[in-house]
Amino acid sequence: MKQKGILIVVSGFAGTGKSTVVKMLAEKYSEQYALSISMTTREPRKYETHGVEYFFSTKEEFERTIAEDGFIEHACYIGNYYGTPRKYVEEQLEAGKDVLLEIEIQGALQVKEKLPDTMLVFVMPPSAEILFNRLKGRGTETDDVIRKRMLRAVEESQGIEQYDYILVNDDLDVCVEGLHQMIQSEKLRASRNIPFIENMRKELVDLKKGEV
Amino acid sequence: MKQKGILIVVSGFAGTGKSTVVKMLAEKYSEQYALSISMTTREPRKYETHGVEYFFSTKEEFERTIAEDGFIEHACYIGNYYGTPRKYVEEQLEAGKDVLLEIEIQGALQVKEKLPDTMLVFVMPPSAEILFNRLKGRGTETDDVIRKRMLRAVEESQGIEQYDYILVNDDLDVCVEGLHQMIQSEKLRASRNIPFIENMRKELVDLKKGEV
**pLDDT at residue number B212:** 47
Contact A201 B154 (CB under 8 A): yes
Alpha-carbon distance of A120 to B189, in angstroms, equals: 10
Beta bridge partners of B98: B33
Give whole-number Cα distances, A111 to A7, A86, A119, A120, B210, in Å.
9, 11, 10, 9, 35
Q: Are B190 and A165 within 8 A, CB to CB?
A: yes
Interface test with B, best of A6, A151, A160 (most B CBs within 10 A): A160
Prediction ipTM score: 0.86
CA distance A180 to A21: 10
* CA pair distance B77, A2, nearest whole angstrom: 35
| Contact between residue A91 and residue A48 where contact means Cβ atoms under 8 Å apart | no
pLDDT score of A100: 97
Q: Residue A125 contacts by C-beta under 8 Å, 6 or more apart in sequence?
A: A13, A15, A16, A131, A134, A168, A169
Whether residue A93 contacts residue A4, with contact meaning beta carbons closer than 8 Å, is answered with: yes
Q: Which residue of A has its CA nearest to B165?
A: A189
Chain A residues with beta carbon closer than 8 angstroms to that of B189: 164-165
- Under a CB-based contact definition with an 8 Å cutoff, are residues A102 and A24 in contact? no
Q: Facing residues of B54 across strands?
A: B38, B50
Cβ atoms of residues B141 and A198 within 8 Å: no
- pLDDT, one tens digit per residue, over B38-55 is 899 999 999 999 988 899
When comparing pLDDT for A133 and B7, which is higher?
B7
Quick one: closest CA in A to B149, which residue? A208
Determine the distance in angstroms separating the CA of A55 from the nearest CA of chain B, rounded to an integer.
Answer: 31
Tell me the chain B residues in contact with residue A158 when contact means C-beta distances shorter than 8 Å: 201
Percent of chain A clearing pLDDT 70 (strictly above): 96
What residues of A are in contact with residue B184 (Cβ under 8 Å)?
178, 181
Rounded to 10 degrees, what is the CA torsion of B26, B174, B179, B141?
A: -70
A146 vs A45: CA distance, rounded Å: 16
pTM value is 0.87
Question: Would you say residue A133 has pLDDT above 90?
Answer: no
Cβ-based contacts of A184 with chain B (< 8 Å): 178, 181
Query: Which stretches of chain B drop beneath a pLDDT of 70?
Result: 1-2, 137-139, 210-212
Q: Does the beta-carbon distance from A190 to B157 stay under 8 Å? A: no
> Which domains does chain B possess?
7-36+98-211 (3.40.50.300)
The enclosing H or E element of A35 equals strand A33-35
Which residues in chain B are contacts of A197 at CB distance < 8 A? 157, 160-161, 166
Q: Residues with Cβ < 8 Å from A203, sequence gap 6 or more? A: B127, B128, B129
Give all strands of the β-sheet with A7-12 in edge-to-edge order.
A33-35, A98-102, A7-12, A119-124, A165-168
pLDDT band for position A135 (50/70/90)?
A: confident
| Side-chain half-sphere CA neighbours of A88 within 13 A | 16
Comparing CB atoms, the residue among B153, B191, B207 nearest residue A129 is B207
CA pair distance B59, B19, nearest whole angstrom? 24
Q: Which residue does chain B place closest to A185, by CA atoms?
A: B182
Q: A185 vs B188: CB contact, 8 Å cut-off? A: no
Cα torsion for A167, A168, A171, A177, to the nearest 10°?
-10
Across the interface, do A208 and B166 touch by the CB < 8 Å criterion?
no
Cα separation of B13 and B148, whole Å? 12
pLDDT of residue A101: 95
Nearest to B127 by CA among A168, A178, A207: A207
Q: Which chain B residue shows the shortest CA-CA distance from A143? A: B212
Chain Cα centroid distance, residue B116: 14
DSSP letters, B129-183, are HHHHHHHHHS-SS-HHHHHHHHHHHHHHGGGGGGSSEEEE-SSHHHHHHHHHHHH
